[in-house]
Amino acid sequence: MKRQNVRTLSLVVCTFTYLLVGAAVFDALESETERKRWNHLLELKAALVRKYSISEDDYRMMEVAIIENKPHKAGPQWKFAGAFYFSTVVLAMIGYGHSTPVTIGGKAFCMAYAMVGIPLGLIMFQSIGERLNKFASVVIRRAKQYLKCKKEEATEMNLMFATGMLSSVIITTGAAVFSKYEGWSYFDSFYYCFVTLTTIGFGDYVALQNDQALMTMPGYVALSLVFILFGLAVVAASINLLVLRFMTMNAEEVRREDNELQGVSQHVITVDGEAVTSVNGKLLAGHTIGRDAGDDVDQVSVCSCTCVGPVQYDYNRDIRPAERAAANAAAAAAVVYNSPPTEQPLLSLKRVSI
C-alpha cells in the first residue's frame, strides 16, 4: 500500500477518533447541566401555570410570542442596515441564524445569492490573505535585514507566526470591544469572536441584537462588519499558509516515493536462456543456460571485474522488440569484453559509475 493511501487512511481514523473523543468530553461537560436547566424550565413553567391559571394552549402561545419577538429586540432586521449585516453573514458562511427569510421570494433569492456570493467571498478573502502574507514577508525580510540575520528571506514558519499573532490580536481586541458594547463577560466575548472568525456561527451569541443597535448605533455596526471582514481575511491568510505547507509536504512525499521506486526498480529479462538483470537502465550479466561453448559472442557487463562469465545473445534475434530499446541503451553505456564463454553463476558485482 502506498504511503499516501496509508496517510489518508490514518487521517480518516484520526478524525473519527477525534470526533469520538469530542463527543465523550462534551457529554461529560454538558449533559448534566442540560438536564438541570431542563428540569428548572419545567418547574418554572408549572409555577407560571399555577400562579396565573394559564391553560396549556395559552402557555404555548405565550412561548411562541416570546421566541418570535426575540430577533426584533435589535430593531427591524430587514431594513438596509440589518439586511447588509445578514448579507455579510451569508457571504462569510457564518450562519448565526439570528434572522432568516420567511417569504418564498426571500428564500429563493437567498439560495441564488449564496451560490454566487460564497465563491466570490472565498476568492476575495483568499486574495486579501495572499496580500497580507506578501506584506508580512516584506516586513519580516526588512526586520531581518535590520537585525543583520544570516537568512533574510521570510520562511513559512515566520509567516505562520506573524499571521497567528495578528489573529490573536484581532480576537483579543474584538473581545474587549464586544464585552463593552454587549455586556458580555470577556470570556464569552472571546468565545463569540472565535466562533465568528472560524465561521462556526452557533448563534448563541450574536452582536447587534440588543437595544435597537442596528438603527441607533451605526458606528458600532460598522465596527462589527469591519471586524468580521478583516478578521476572516487574516484567518484566510493563515489557512493559505497551512494549505501551502500541506501541499509542500505532499509534494515532498511524492518525490520521496518516486526516488525510492527508482532506487529499487529492477526487472529481469530472459535473453536466449540468459538471465539479464536491469538496474536503473544498466544490464548486469547473469549465468548462461544452454548455449554452445564454442559460439563467438560478445559479453556485455557493467562491473569492475573481468571474471564474470559472458552474456550471450544476439540483438536482432534474441531480444523481444519491447526489450530491445532498453538493452541497446544499456549496452551502449556498458564495457564490452571478448572472452571465451563459460558457464558460471552470477558473482557479486560492483557497478561502474558511467
Note whether residue 295 is domain-resident.
yes
Q: What is the CATH number of the domain that holds 98?
A: 1.10.287.70
> Taking CA 309 as the corner, what is the angle to CA 267 and CA 268, rounded to the nearest 5 degrees?
10
Whole-model pTM: value is 0.69
What is the per-residue pLDDT for 153?
Answer: 86
User: Is the same domain home to 103 and 197?
Assistant: yes
User: Is the same domain home to 189 and 317?
Assistant: no
Note whether residue 354 is domain-resident.
no
Query: Which residue is listed with cell 497580507?
Result: 132
> Could you tell me which of 303, 323, 304 has the C-alpha nearest to residue 315?
323
User: Is the same domain home to 18 and 80?
Assistant: no
Q: What is the dihedral of CA 64, 67, 70, 75, to 10 degrees?
A: -40
User: Is the same domain home to 150 and 222?
Assistant: yes
CB 209 within 8 A of CB 74: yes
Note whether residue 343 is domain-resident.
no
- Alpha carbon distance 326, 337 (integer Å): 20
Domains: count for the chain: 3
What is the per-residue pLDDT for 328?
Answer: 56
User: Is the same domain home to 180 and 223?
Assistant: yes
Residue count of the chain, please give it.
354
CB 174 within 8 A of CB 227: yes
281 burial (CB, 10 Å; 0-12 / 13-18 / 19+) is middle
Residue type, 53: S
User: Is the same domain home to 78 and 102?
Assistant: yes
User: Is the same domain home to 4 and 125?
Assistant: no
- State which residues form the domain around 4: 1-54
What is the per-residue pLDDT for 26?
Answer: 97
User: Is the same domain home to 276 and 247?
Assistant: no
- Alpha carbon distance 154, 140 (integer Å): 6
Last residue of a domain, one of 237, 258, 279: 258
Note whether residue 67 is domain-resident.
no
Note whether residue 202 is domain-resident.
yes
User: Is the same domain home to 4 and 116?
Assistant: no
What is the per-residue pLDDT for 108?
Answer: 98
User: Is the same domain home to 86 and 203?
Assistant: yes
What is the per-residue pLDDT for 301?
Answer: 41
Phi, psi (rounded to 5 degrees) for 205: -125, 120
Note whether residue 161 is domain-resident.
yes
User: Is the same domain home to 310 and 251?
Assistant: no
Note whether residue 81 is domain-resident.
yes
User: Is the same domain home to 270 and 244?
Assistant: no
Nine-digit cell string for 288: 548462461
Per-run averaged pLDDT (10 residues), the chain, 354 residues: 80 96 97 95 90 88 85 79 93 90 96 96 90 91 89 86 92 96 95 94 90 86 94 86 80 78 58 49 46 44 43 47 53 45 44 42
